[in-house]
Amino acid sequence: MNHFLYLVGFAVFVSAAFAVFKDGDAKECVIYGIKLFFQFIGISLAIAWLLYFIPW
């Protein structure tokens, strides 16, 4: 569970930083930050799910 909380924290901070530095009005920046957050979480969970089945 700790790894997931670290993932969420990282996604929040990085997506917020990217949204702040994006060009455009405030509404576009907020939408971009939210999309980026969910992309971080979704792609990370998909990669973790795929790696789960690889026998190490």
Which domain does 41 fall in, by range?
2-52
Q: What count of residues does the chain have?
A: 56
Q: What's the mean pLDDT when you consider all of the chain?
A: 95
Domain tally for the chain? Answer: 1
In this prediction, residues 23-48 reach a mean pLDDT of 96
Residue-level pLDDT at 20: 95
pLDDT band at 1 (very low <50, low <70, confident <90, very high): confident
Cα 14 from Cα 44, distance rounded (Å): 14
What share of the chain in percent tops pLDDT 70?
Answer: 100
In contact, 28 and 22? CB cutoff 8 Å: yes
pTM greater than 0.75: yes
